[in-house]
Amino acid sequence: LLYVLDPHYQPGKWCGLPAVGGGRGYDTVMNALGLVLEEMDARYKDFNQGKRTDEFDRLTVFIDEVPALVEWCFDGKRLRDQRWMSFAKQLGSEARKVRISVILMTQSPLVQDIQINTRMRENFTRIALGDQSIELIKESREPRRSELEGLIANKQFTATMEYRNQIHALDTSNVPILAR
């Protein structure tokens, strides 16, 4: 199952997949986050009854425009809607055991832009595309930095991934074929 939440959604944007939240429907997205938390609660009841992790169907929640969503939660500096903070903390630390994955789309690598802390960031896999690929390599303490930079140098489509505190260059050679 794939669940797309996007406050900037318009029909056809996600290859025909339905999405929740178009027209800057931030409250609709927040309500959908609540439904995901309810699903996680239901799965944990089954987990408590002995259902194993591999018996759950995978649920992937794809959330676009996360910094805009977080910004909507604040009225100036005052928090007006705490649902994002609750969602991010719970899903970032608990969802994996019941096969719920969350993909957060943001153009910023800064944890404060999506209101998670640095320790919580370790629960997430970060993927950087295009120009941000080299930035992810540069900010890492990866001993293979120059090797990784060489792997993405002069490539039209670049992607890197931080997984368990290690940076990996991703193979993007099929991107033009897939795009067609």
* Rounded alpha-carbon distances, angstroms, from residue 18 to 4, 62, 73, 100, 172: 7, 12, 24, 19, 26
CA torsion sign for 92, 94, 97, 99 is negative
Q: How confident is the model at residue 110 (pLDDT cuts 50, 70, 90)?
A: low
What length is written for the chain?
A: 180
* Rounded alpha-carbon distances, angstroms, from residue 56 to 34, 35, 40, 98: 19, 17, 11, 6
Residue owning tokens 């928090």: 79
* pTM, to two decimals: 0.75
Under 8 Å between Cβ of 116 and 88? yes
Q: How confident is the model at residue 119 (pLDDT cuts 50, 70, 90)?
A: low
3-class SS letters over 38-85: HHHHHHHHHHHCCCCHHHCCCEEEEECCHHHHHHHCEECCEECCCHHH
pLDDT tens for each residue of 53-105: 999 999 999 888 888 888 888 877 788 888 888 888 888 778 889 999 888 77
For residues 97 and 115, the model is more confident at: 97
